[in-house]
Amino acid sequence: MNALDPTQIWLLMAAVAYIAFMAGRATANRGDAESRETRALRQQESAERIFSEMDASIREEVDRLLNDGKIINAVKIVRENTGLGLRDAKLAVDWRRRMIKS
């Protein structure tokens, strides 16, 4: 068997890495619909709880910011007053925005 030259080795490694990457992408988002619905319901309940426990003046400020289209500022207010991380605060603000527009 002939030895591979360095270029062939790099091409082989790149092909293997590409195949592994594509296989990972194909299987990454295979969560079933029930788990997505469960996760969405859990996020909604969490957002409802966050806003129900929030002081009324802060809730009004967030609502005003959302009506003015200042989503980032609303997320900042929620984070400052709840101690939530960015993702959770954004999810809560998105839920609140949907509730206001309904």
- In the prediction, which pLDDT does 36 show? 80
Mean pLDDT of 30-47: 80
| pLDDT higher than 80, residue 37 | yes
Q: Where are the alpha helices (DSSP H) in the chain?
A: 6-28, 33-53, 56-67, 71-82, 86-101
Mean pLDDT of 67-93: 94
The fraction of the chain above a pLDDT of 90, given in percent, is 64
Would the pTM of this model clear 0.75, i.e. be above it? no
Mean pLDDT of 1-15: 87
**Annotated domain spans of the chain:** 47-102
At 29, list the tokens: 């988002």
Report whether 82 contacts 71 (CB < 8 A).
Answer: no
Report whether 93 contacts 75 (CB < 8 A).
Answer: yes
